[in-house]
Amino acid sequence: MNRIYIIQSTILCFVGIGALFGGAIAIIDPYEALLGISTELLKKGPFSNFLIPGLFLFIVIGLGHLLSFWFVKRKMKFHPYLSGAMGCILMAWIVIQCYILETINILHVIYFAIGVIEGLVSLYMLVKLRLFPFDKGNKSLTKD
């Protein structure tokens, strides 16, 4: 079980820190594209610059993954639910990004796969920790 905690913690920390940096760059410079990404890519989407996507990347994905990492490190009871939700949010983010940009590159595939792994690891932990809602041995979801 410790190996699963290490895998989950590593993924959450990696995605969280990366999202904080990417989001911060998009927030600091939403028009100039410090990463070499032109706002021209957004012409068919709902945004004219990278500010809103940067805020979402920083707050929801970055801080959300780091909060989930903290929950895992503290072994809080319902951490698999939060980390599973973060995996789903990451996958949705990638799908929406591909739709808006009308392209798929290798980083999209890698981060989508990371989201799938997050979800599967979380599901495994829910079953192992007997927190799965339909587990017959789990008498109460609120009882420690």
pLDDT in tens, 65-116: 999 999 999 988 889 999 999 999 999 999 999 998 889 999 999 999 999 9
Of residues 25 and 38, more confidence is placed in: 25
pLDDT band (50, 70, 90) for residue 144: very low
- CA 99 – CA 79 distance, rounded (Å): 30
Distances (CA, A) of 61 to 100, 101, 133: 18, 19, 25
Exposure b/e, 14-45, CB count within 10 A at least 16 = b:
ebbebbbebbebbbeebeebeeeeeeebbeee
Cα distance between residue 39 and residue 30, in whole Å: 8
User: Is 58:15 a contact under the CB 8 Å cutoff?
Assistant: no
pLDDT of residue 106: 97
pTM: 0.86
pLDDT confidence band for 135 (50 / 70 / 90): low
